[in-house]
Amino acid sequence: MCGIIGLVSQNYFKSNDVIKMLKRLEYRGYDSFGIVTNSGLFEKKVGEVTSVTDNKCTQAIAHTRWATTGEVTKENAHPHSSCDGRIFIVHNGIINNYVELKEGLVAKGHIFRSETDSEVIAHFFEEELKTKPMPGAVERFFRVASGEFAVIIMIKGDSKLYAMKRGSPLSLGMLEDGNVISSDIYAFSGKTDKAVFFHEDEFAVVNEKGYEFYRFDGTSLEPVKKEITEVKWSSNEEGKKYDHYMIKEIYEQPEALERLYHSLKNGQKESAEKLKALMKSSKRIVFVASGTSYHATLLGVYFLNKSGVEAHTIIASEFRNFYLVDKDTLIIAVSQSGETMDVIEALHGMKARGAKIASLVNVPYSTIQRMSNVSVNIEAGQEICVAATKSFVNQVACLHYIASMFNGAEIADLPGDVRKVLSQENNIRDLAKSLVKSRDIYIIGRGFLYPVAREIALKLKEISYIHAEGMMGGELKHGTLALIEKGTPVIALINGRSEIVSNVMEVKARGGRIIAISNSGMAGELIRIDSDDEVSFSTAATVAGQLLTYYIAKEKNLPIDKPRNLSKTITVK
C-alpha cells in the first residue's frame, strides 16, 4: 500500500523531480513520506507529499507511507538507514517475521530508531554485506524473510540501485538518461513508454545505463531475460477543476462509460469474446474480489444468472475457506488496481489445480492482469480519490455487457442515466446537509438493489465517517429494526418492488426517516431515478449515493480524497 520510487540518471536531476513522481503514488499512502539522495539530502516528514529541500543529485530513493507496523511518526517514515548510515531502504509490504529478525540483529549490536518492520531490512543488509557480496545477501534475504515486499536499496558511494520483489508490485521504467523503479507505472507516466515488470522473487541491479535481472529459485539467483513492454498511456489529468478528486471522478463517469462501451465493441471485442468462450466451457464460474469490487461482482452474478449463466462470488480474503476449485473452474478476478493482495493470494496456485483465470482490472500491466488467461480493462481511467466511483460503475457496466452477450439484451444508455442523476446535484447537496449530524444511516434494497445498498453504505463509512449498514430489505425485521428510532435515516432503494414498500412502512411505523431513491412519485424525501431498467437504475442509484456521501463529507470538512486509515491499493493481507 505504500509507494516507492528509485531513480538513477546520467545527468543531474532535482530532488523535487522525484517528489513529483512520488506524488503520483500518494493514493497508495499519505501518512508520511521521505527521500534520500546521493548528494546528501535525507528528509522525512509526517503528512501528505510536499516539496522538499532543493538538492541536485544523480541517484535518489523516496517513499510515501500507509502505516501498518508502527505509528505515524517522522521516525517511522521511510527511507530507513543502517547503523553506519551507508545503506538506505524503502519498502512496500510487510515482513511477517520481523520480530525474530530484529531480535537476532539487536543481539549483534544493531540499534533501531523506528517501530517498523521495514527498518529490519536496512540492518539485515548491513550485517550480511560484512561477509558477502550483494547477490549473496539478497539470496539469504529471500530465504529467511517471510511476507510481502518490494524493496529498493541505495548504498553510499555505489552508483547502482538494488531492487527485489515478492508479493508487492514493482516495475522498471527506462528513461532516455537513466532508469526509474516504482511501485506502479503511474509514477513515470509521460516520461517513458518502455517498462519491465518484476515477477515473483526477482532481484534487479539498476544503474544509469542499464539493468540486470535475476530470479531466486529457492537456493540461488539465476540470470533472467526480461521482456520490455510498450505501455499505452491514457490519462485524464487535464487539470483539477473541482474542489476534490472525488467529485471530479464522479463527473467523469458518463465519459468513462462511453469509453468502455466503445472499447468493448472495438479494441477489446476479441478479449470479451474470449472471456465468453471460457465461461461457456466452464462448469463452475466464480468471481473473487474485495470491497467495492466485490459489490460490483454481486451485481454481475445477478445479471449473469438472469442470463442463464450460473455464477457465484466470494470475498477474496475468504476464498480458500469457502470455494472448491478444479479443472472445470473459471475464476474471474475483479480489482480496480490489479494489485489487491487478497485477490492475488486467492489466485496463487489455482492454475496448478487446472483452473482458468480471467480478470477485470483498471490498471494495465498489473499483477492480476498478468496472471490471467484473458483480461478485460474496464477503461475507467486513473482514479486518484481513495473511494472507488467510476471504477465501480464501469465494473458493473462491463459485467452487464458480458451478461448481455449471452442473452442478447439491449445495452441501456448508462451515460445518459448518470447525467440525469448529476443534474440533481443541488437537491442531493441540500439533502446531505440534513444528514451531517447523523450517527447511523441504514440503506435497504432487494434483489439487484441489495449490492447497491452495500456499496452506498461503504461510501458513507469510508468518506463521511458515518456508521452505515447496507442490507436486504427482508432482513430488516431480523434484528436491525430494533435500532430504528424516531428520526433514524433509512435510505430505501425502490424500483417498483412491493416488498420493499412494506419494509418502508415498517420503518415509518417506528418513527424512522425515509429517504427514497426511486422511480416512483412516492411522497417524502426523494432522489428520483427515471428508469425501470435494472442496470440503469442500479447505476444511477449508486451515483446518487456517491453524491450524497461527497456532500455530507464536504459539509463536515473531512479529507475526502484521503480518508483516515485507508489506502487506494491494498497490497497487504
Task: Evaluate whether residue 195 is within a structural domain.
Answer: yes
Q: So what's the pLDDT on residue 481? A: 86
Pair 271, 317 in one domain: yes
Q: What single letter denotes the amino acid at residue 287?
A: F
What is the pTM assigned to this prediction?
Answer: 0.76
User: Nearest Cα to 174, choosing from 158, 161, 191, 162?
Assistant: 191
Question: In the annotation, is 241 catalytic?
Answer: no
In this structure, the answer to whether residues 31 and 132 fall within a common structural domain is: yes
Residue 92 cell numbers, joined:
512496500
- pLDDT band at residue 500 under the 50/70/90 scheme: confident
Q: Has residue 240 got a pLDDT over 60?
A: no
Domain that holds residue 451: 425-573
| Residue 385 bears catalytic tag | no
Residue 419 within any structural domain of the chain? no
Radius of gyration of the chain (CA): 25
Tell me how long the chain is: 573
Percentage of residues in the chain with pLDDT exceeding 70?
Answer: 96
pLDDT band for 570, please (50, 70, 90 cuts). Answer: low
The reported pLDDT for the residue numbered 440 is: 95
Query: Maximum Cα–Cα distance for the chain, whole Å?
Result: 79
* Average per-residue pLDDT for the chain: 92
Question: How sure is the predictor about 230, in pLDDT bands with cuts at 50, 70 and 90?
Answer: confident
Q: Which residues contact 477 (CB under 8 A, 6 or more apart)?
A: 503, 506
85 lies in a domain?
A: yes
Q: How many domains, the chain?
A: 3
Q: What is the pLDDT of residues 143-170, one digit of tens each?
A: 999 988 999 999 999 999 999 999 888 9
Domain ends where: 350, 384, 411? 411
Answer yes or no: do 147 and 200 share one domain.
yes
pLDDT of residue 527: 92
Among 2, 57, 385, 398, the active-site one is: 2
| Alpha-carbon gap, residue 278 to 285, rounded angstroms | 9
Q: For residue 289, which of 236, 327, 331 has the smallest C-alpha distance?
A: 331
Catalytic position from the list 420, 554, 568, 573: 568
Same domain, yes or no, for 220 and 259?
no
Average pLDDT over residues 564-572: 64
Residue 333 lies in a domain: yes
**Judgement on whether residues 373 and 433 belong to the same structural domain of the protein:** no
- Same-domain pairing of 276 and 128: no
- How far is it, in rounded angstroms, from Cα 386 to Cα 333? 20
378 close to 401: Cβ distance less than 8 angstroms: no
Do residue 389 and residue 519 come from a single domain? no
Together in a domain, 121 and 149: yes
Query: Does 418 map to a domain?
Result: no
Between CA 9 and CA 205 the distance in angstroms is 14
Average the pLDDT over 244-248 and give the result. Answer: 94
Helices in 437-562 by DSSP H: which ranges? 449-464, 498-509, 534-555
**Final residue in a domain of this structure, among 230, 262, 286:** 230
Whether residue 388 sits in one domain with residue 324: yes
Full DSSP string of 140-191? HHHHH--EEEEEEEEETT---EEEEEESS--EEEEETTEEEEESSGGGGTTT
Domain-located, residue 188: yes
Tens-place pLDDT, residues 18-72: 999 998 888 777 889 999 999 999 999 999 899 999 999 999 999 999 888 899 9
- In this predicted structure, what is the pLDDT of residue 301? 97
Cell of 291: 470491497
Phi, psi of 109 (to 5 degrees): 100, 5
- pLDDT tens readout for residues 521-532: 665 688 999 888
- The domain boundary, picked from 411, 438, 457, lies at 411
Alpha carbon distances (Å) from 498 to 26, 493, 502: 46, 12, 7
- Give the full edge-to-edge strand order of the sheet including 211-216: 80-81, 87-95, 147-155, 161-166, 202-206, 211-216, 221-224
**pLDDT at res. 498:** 72
| b/e burial code for range 531-558 (CB count within 10 A of at least 16 → b) | bebbbbbbbbbbbbbbbbbbbbbbbeee
Please indicate, yes or no, whether residues 106 and 248 belong to a single structural domain of this protein.
no
The yes-or-no verdict on residue 234 having pLDDT over 70 is no
What are the φ and ψ backbone dihedral angles of 97, each rounded to 5 degrees?
A: -100, 35
pLDDT of residue 568: 60
Q: What is the pLDDT of residue 1?
A: 64
Give kind and range of the element (H or E) at residue 347.
helix 341-347
User: Is residue 459 in a domain?
Assistant: yes
User: 209 and 144 share a domain?
Assistant: yes
Domain of 566, CATH number, reads 3.40.50.10490
Residue 416, domain member (yes or no)? no
- AA letter at 534: E
Considering only CA atoms, which of 319, 258, 320, 233 is closest in space to residue 24? 233
Closest CA to 94 of 120, 127, 74: 120
* 29 and 154 co-located in one domain: yes
- The mean pLDDT of 92-113, rounded to a whole number, is 95
Confidence of residue 239 (pLDDT cuts 50, 70, 90): very low
Once rounded to an integer, what is the mean pLDDT over residues 561-571? Answer: 73
Domain of residue 86, CATH code: 3.60.20.10
Which residue has 489445480 as its cell numbers?
353
Q: Is the pLDDT of residue 213 over 50?
A: yes
Q: Over 90: is that where the pLDDT of 233 sits? A: no
Q: Which three cell numbers stand for residue 479?
A: 434484528
CA distances for 284 relative to 277, 323, 369, angstroms:
13, 11, 21
